Amino acid sequence: MIFITAMRRFPVFALFFAVAGSVSGAELVESVVARVNDQPITHSEFESRCAVELRGSGDAEGRRKVLDEMIQEKLLEERAKQLQVQATDAEVEEAVERVKRQYNLATDAEFDAALAQSKMNRDDLKKQLRQTITMQKVVGREVTSKLEMNDDVLRLEYERRKEELYRVPEQARVSEIVIRFPADDAEARQAAATKIEEARAKITAGATFSDVAKEYSQGNARDRGGDLGTVSRGELLPALDTAVFANPPQENPPPVLLPGSVHLFHVTDRTQAGFKPFADVKEDLKKRLGENLYDKRYNEYVEKLRHEAFVKIFDPALAKAEEKKASS
């Protein structure tokens, strides 16, 4: 069965489009799982929601979370009426078009067929989209618009998390000449060491490292004159890393012998370890802080709405699960 899900999910409660159906006379007198002020959450709509979100798992904690989401949605719907906030027809139509694009439904026939698989029609979808957009507007007005993320707040967050998120290791521009040999061939090892010394002598005599690398090196960067680009401390093998980032720094450190190769480096353009500048990470900080702060403020907001409302859970198992959560 295809379930159409068109809108972005809020962090805490699910805004999804489950199986829709008309309200029959039997449904009007069916059992009520919970009540939010004068709005009931019926057994059938709760079980339908659980079927979509829990996919048959049916664990007590999962069912409690589903009911919690539904209670939050009822609270937001009531708050929308108080604020006289609602989705416009244009916004609903735009959301419908997004659903079509998301599911690659090119024709009206394909769209209607997809809705029919979920036991929905266009009116059902528009109704649910209208509810979702309306709730988003409430949260936008009363939560998102009040998030404090000016430069002072962002700079404090930068100082608090720069060690964790924005540390930049020591770096250098590195060129390399490498001569390879079989690890178990002592004679070949000596020949490689001799060849590296020849290359080193040419550089000392005034030849450019790049020209000598093109002549001698057997590394992948030979055609680039041995240029490895910018290398950060810790990227290379430990013995090579030690040579490149020697203390005190050396532009032409001594050759480094490994079991199957010998390396000669040219090291320039060193930069000390530090942190990415605030200006470079400001947008990333805003995103990270916004997500964390939004979750916190949203949870506080819906808890306030719930505290001010009459909320009664009639299902004994769900009521017990909610009491357990509240006491933890």
Same domain, 298 and 261: no
Q: Is the pLDDT of residue 165 over 80?
A: yes
Q: Which of 57-61, 78-82, 225-229, 297-301 has the lowest mean pLDDT?
A: 57-61
Q: How far apart are CA 258 and CA 278, in angstroms?
A: 41
Amino acid at site 321: A
The per-residue pLDDT for 295 is 87
Residue 321 has pLDDT above 90, yes or no: no
Q: 155 lies in a domain?
A: no
Rounded mean pLDDT of 15-25? 39
Residue 52 identity (one-letter amino acid) = V
Range(s) of the domain holding residue 59: 25-148+291-327
Amino acid, res. 23: V
| pLDDT level of residue 16 (50, 70, 90 thresholds) | very low
As given in the structure block, the two tokens for residue 36 are 């939010």
Q: Dihedral, CA atoms, 13, 16, 18, 21, nearest 10 degrees?
A: 100
> What count of residues does the chain have?
328
The Cβ of residue 141 has, within 10 Å, a number of other Cβ atoms equal to: 14
Residue 147: pLDDT band (50, 70, 90) is confident
Tokens of 47: 């079980």
Shared domain check, 295 and 269: no
Q: Assign residue 220 the CATH number of its domain.
A: 3.10.50.40
**By C-alpha distance, which of 239, 216, 244, 215 is closest to 228?**
244
Type of residue numbered 207: A
Q: Report, as an integer, the average pLDDT of 74-97.
A: 95
The answer to whether residues 40 and 78 belong to one domain is yes
Judge contact between 66 and 46, C-beta under 8 A: yes
Q: Which tens digits make up the pLDDT trace of 234-251?
A: 999 999 999 999 999 999
Q: How confident is the model at residue 296, as a pLDDT?
A: 87
123 inside domain:
yes
pLDDT over 50 (residue 85): yes
Residue 141 has pLDDT above 80, yes or no: yes
Same-domain check for residues 91 and 134: yes
Q: Are 32 and 43 in contact (CB under 8 A)?
A: yes
Tens digit of each residue's pLDDT (9 = 90 or more) over 208-217: 999 999 999 9
Diameter of the chain measured on Cα atoms: 99
Burial of 314 (0-12, 13-18, 19+ CB in 10 A): middle
Helix residue ranges per DSSP H, 85-208: 89-102, 108-117, 122-142, 151-165, 186-204
Residues 208, 121 within the same domain: no
User: Is residue 309 domain-shared with residue 229, that is, in the same domain?
Assistant: no
Long-range pairs of 185-188 with CB within 8 A, sequence gap ≥ 24: none
Q: Is the pLDDT of residue 192 over 50?
A: yes
Asked if 41 contacts 49 with a C-beta cutoff of 8 angstroms, the reply is no
- Reported confidence tier of residue 4, pLDDT bands at 50, 70, 90: very low
CA dihedral 173, 177, 180, 186 (to 10 degrees): -110
pLDDT value, residue 23: 40
CB 308 within 8 A of CB 57: no
| Overall pTM surpassing 0.95 (yes/no) | no
- For residue 18, name the pLDDT band (cuts at 50, 70, 90): very low
CATH number of the domain within which 61 lies? 1.10.4030.10
Residue 160 lies in a domain: no
Assigned domain for 8 exists: no
Domain count, the chain: 2
Q: What is the pLDDT of residue 253?
A: 95
> pLDDT-derived band of residue 119, with 50, 70 and 90 as boundaries?
confident
Q: Tell whether 70 and 144 lie within a shared domain.
A: yes
Backbone angles phi, psi at 192, to 5 degrees: -65, -40
Give the number of other CB atoms < 10 A from CB of residue 250. 13
User: In whole angstroms, how far apart are CA 326 and each of 1, 24, 311?
Assistant: 36, 35, 14
Quote the DSSP letter at residue 170: -
258 and 227 in one domain? yes
Give domain status of residue 85, yes or no: yes
Instruction: Based on the fold, state whether residues 256 and 211 are members of the same structural domain.
Output: yes
Q: Are residues 301 and 266 in the same domain?
A: no
Q: How confident is the model at residue 233 (pLDDT cuts 50, 70, 90)?
A: very high
Residue 119 within any structural domain of the chain:
yes
pLDDT at position 230: 95
Domain annotation covers residue 14: no
Q: State whether 104 and 208 are in the same domain.
A: no
The pLDDT of residue 29 is: 58
Of the chain, the percentage scoring pLDDT greater than 90 comes to 70
Q: Do residues 299 and 267 both lie within one domain?
A: no
Say if residues 209 and 175 touch (Cβ distance below 8 Å). Answer: yes
**Which pLDDT score is estimated for 325?**
80
Within a domain: residue 12?
no
| Residue 53 one-letter amino acid | E
